[in-house]
């Protein structure tokens, strides 16, 4: 909205426009998404050549950690969601996760991607994340229907 006869916005209106443009992220253009994926694939291949391993499941905890399952870490407050299990030639076994979250799933301050030593996993939630859980239940029910038919 114009506040001046000359057609310029007032300083307060300009500040509001700047704040809105800062807080609303713009989606990446398709070409940059492609470049990012290529860069990540090259980085991953380089690490694998140096002896790094990446797995989608970790069986060393009380329950198997699969993507989306929440767990606690010794010495850290909150719950974390498992992403992948990494075996590094230098650091050993690592767990990559996202968090911390509260018990009901809300983000806590400082929420982001983290990497912990695998031996720091303290407690694993029985229930897998909502979408993964529903998919697994659907597979079980479909298998039962096939056996019954």
Contact (Cβ atoms closer than 8 angstroms) between residue 10 and residue 18: no
What is the rounded average pLDDT for all residues in the chain? 80
Biggest CA-to-CA distance, the chain = 79
Q: How many contiguous H segments (helices) and E segments (strands) does the chain have?
A: 3, 6
- pLDDT for 7: 56
Q: Can you give the pLDDT at residue 1?
A: 47
Q: What is the DSSP letter of 65?
A: B
pLDDT tens for residues 26-67? 777 888 889 999 998 998 899 889 999 988 888 887 888 888
In this predicted structure, the answer to whether residue 111 has a pLDDT above a threshold of 70 is yes
The neighbour count for residue 9, using CB atoms within 10 Å, is 14
Q: What is the pLDDT at residue 132?
A: 55
Give pLDDT, residue 50.
92
């Amino acid at each position: 909205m114009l506040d001046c006869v000359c057609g310029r916005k007032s300083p307060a209106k300009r500040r509001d426009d700047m704040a809105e443009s800062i807080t609303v992220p713009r989606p990446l253009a398709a070409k940059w998404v492609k470049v990012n994926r290529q860069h990540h694939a090259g980085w991953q291949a380089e690490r694998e050549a140096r002896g790094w391993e990446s797995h989608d499941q970790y069986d060393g905890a009380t329950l198997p950690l699969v993507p989306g399952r929440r767990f606690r870490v010794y010495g850290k407050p909150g719950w974390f969601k498992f992403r992948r299990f990494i075996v590094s030639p230098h650091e050993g076994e690592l767990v990559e996760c996202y968090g911390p979250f509260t018990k009901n799933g809300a983000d806590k301050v400082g929420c982001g991607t983290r990497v912990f030593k695998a031996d720091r996993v303290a407690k694993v939630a029985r229930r897998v994340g909502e979408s993964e859980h529903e998919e697994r239940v659907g597979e079980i029910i479909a298998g039962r229907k096939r056996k019954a038919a």
